[in-house]
Structure 1
Amino acid sequence: MASRTASCSCGQLSIEVEGEPGGVGVCHCLACQRRTGSVFAALAGFSTPYKVTGTATEYVRTGDHGARFRFRFCPVCGSTVFHTEEGYEDRFVAVAVGAFADPSFPPPQDSVYDCRRHPWVQLPAGVIVYDKDPT
């Protein structure tokens, strides 16, 4: 099984995941816009196991439906690299697509919080769009 490695800008923090992503999506919620400093977050979900190298600073945010997400970012360069949902850390990790620095990475299959999408952002054909979080 092939592995992929995502890392922060300075290389201090990285995560190695196995296989293909279980899903790739973009989120346009205001929290993701603030967290990334961009107009949306692009995330890829992977099943465990995964291997983290380096030191991360953590930030926990509670989502609209009460789920708690623990974001890990580099304390040196500030890049967000991955996050987990509390209670599911042993099954699933979401990795920032940009941290793979791979232009051939698979495109998103879904887009959430489309109600917050900037009107000039164009999604690839076939992306399933949700006005808010479907869960």
Structure 2
Amino acid sequence: MTSRIAACCCGQLSIEVQGETLGAGVCHCLACQRRTGSVFAALAGYAAPWKVNGTATEYVRTGDAGASFRFCFCPVCGSTVFHTEEGNDGCVMVAVGAFADPAFPPPQDSVYECRRHAWVQLPEGIARYERDPD
């Protein structure tokens, strides 16, 4: 089975995931823009099991639809590495950049297009949603 390791900038916090991604996407919501310091977040979902190494600081945020998301980041360098949705223990969302793999597959969907910066260009054929398609 294929495994991938995503890590923070200093290497103190990492997560190892197994198997193929459940899907990858980008989110343009204002919370993700603020959280990443970029104009969108790039995320890839993986099914359990996964293994976390190191210590994470957590920040819980409630999304527009009422779900709570637990963001895990390194207390040393501040890099966000992954997050989970409370009540959904079978899936983890990993920050694509934390894999440090320029060959990582492109996203399949884009959410919160209503907040996308006009100059951001995405791959052809990507599914686009004005808000979260929950």
Q: TM-score, normalised by structure 1?
A: 0.99
Residue segments in structure 2 that go unaligned for 5+ positions in a row: none
CA distance in 2, matches of 1:20, 1:37: 27
Post-superposition offset of 1:19: 1.0
CA distance in 1, matches of 2:109, 2:72: 23
Is the aligned partner of 1:113 residue 2:112?
yes
Q: Which digits, 9 at most, give the CA deviation of each residue in 1:40-72, with x for residues without a partner?
A: 000000000000000000000000000000000
Counterpart residue type for residue 37 of structure 1? G
Structure 1 segments (4+ residues) deviating >3 Å = none
Task: For 1:55-66, list aligned pairs within 5 A.
Answer: 55-66=55-66
CA distance in 1, matches of 2:61, 2:78: 17
Residue segments in structure 1 that go unaligned for 5+ positions in a row: none
In structure 2, the residue matched to 1:102 is 101
| Backbone CA RMSD of aligned residues | 0.4
Post-superposition offset of 1:92: 0.3
CA distance in 2, matches of 1:103, 1:126: 20
Equivalent residue of 1:20, what SS?
coil
Q: TM-score, normalised by structure 2?
A: 0.99
Post-superposition offset of 1:7: 0.1
